[in-house]
Amino acid sequence: MLKFTIEKKMEGKLARAGVLETSHGKILTPSFVTVGTKATVKALTPEQVADLGAQVVLANTYHLYLQPGDELVKKVGGLQKFMNWFGPTMTDSGGFQAFSLGVAFGSGVSKIASADKKDIVNRCGEMSDGEGCSLAKIDEDGVTFKSHIDGSFHKFTPEKSIQIQHNIGADMIFAFDECTSPNADYDYQKEAMDRTHRWAERSLDEHKKLNAENKISLFGIVQGGRFEDLRKESAEVISKMDFDGFGIGGSFNKEDMNTAVGWVNKILPEDKPRHLLGIGEPEDLFGGVENGIDLFDCVAPTRMARNGTLHTKDGKINILNAKFKDDFSPIDKDCKCYTCKNYTKSYLSHLFRAKEMLGSTLATIHNLYFINKLVADIRQSIIDESFDQFKKDFLGKYKKE
């Protein structure tokens, strides 16, 4: 069951404010999807996550398959019951893990490339745990990979990915795709895109077999790297398949991301939700929204928090900097989160320097509150027809690292 309603469109841009209805509740869009990789948002309870404005949580297919096993999650009653989160949920397809264990392994490559960083892509003929060599191998049938936990071998096919995701039981799941390096050449991007399209059809066929009760919704994924013709071709092909929504995969240059998203969303059906995978920086949220994105997911807010990097209205700060040791002000004086209302930068600095677990919890509370509130404010600015001014005001103060 999935129903998407557009409440307000932004004149002259693709931005829209909507409501996405699932069997476990409504999501007001645009919305940030909080990542709970292993059926947990690190350092927080589900109740805390909900209190921070989170509307939907995404879990990781690859990790839950390996530990504790998707069959166990199914046995207990599905993801919501397993982790005590009863709001909407999503799972990814496992395709990104194939990328990170494959061409990206040991190379420092991410889904998004920046102009000032030249990534090196290593390819190995056989799977190996040697430095710079792949732990995954892609063929037409799927991806064979080596577990990072115990070294055992496994294979994900489109059918297997869908079966695992149905066992996990999220409200929204993704078709199995191949996520490529942003530095892959045109010929390989084309090859991977075509394979993603064939895998999309197989994912859809398997999903229809398993979804007799129509409780789970399947999103198809658009690929094509940084190449305009491939992105448009992928959007055309995927949009003609009977998906409930669409995901836009990474593998593009950061400087061109918003343009690439715009290419795709001008083609995808307007009446279905669009999810931008793995994006969560404030400036990218604005760019994604004005180019038609409804949902975002990213580990950045929580991962940064655990490393002591905190969002403020003036940009990011590292709480481990010496100047914060005797700073008795909150992280952000205008923030209404639990951390800012009760603790100082000095105290957080102490917790991180002392390596106390509470530091990660308080920092994560702040960063998730900050990002969820930002996206909620972006949504309200669309409704109020003040998006451009809100974007100018916010990004005028928020200094990038």
What is the edge-to-edge ordering of all strands in the sheet holding 25-29?
3-9, 16-22, 25-29
The residue among 30, 33, 31 whose CA lies nearest residue 85 is: 33
139 is an active site residue: no
DSSP string computed for 263-281: HHHTTS-TTS-EEETT---
CA distance 170 to 235: 25
DSSP assigned state of 399 = B
Q: Which helix (H) or strand (E) holds 90?
A: strand 89-91
Q: Which helix (H) or strand (E) holds 305?
A: helix 300-306
The residue among 178, 134, 184 whose CA lies nearest residue 157 is: 178
Choice among 70, 171, 297, 332 that is catalytic: 297
How many CB atoms are closer than 10 A to CB 271? 9
326 is an active site residue: no
Distances (CA, A) of 45 to 36, 87, 294, 346, 375: 11, 14, 26, 25, 22
Backbone angles phi, psi at 27, to 5 degrees: -120, 120
Choice among 92, 171, 244, 294 that is catalytic: 92
Q: Which residues are catalytic?
A: 92, 297
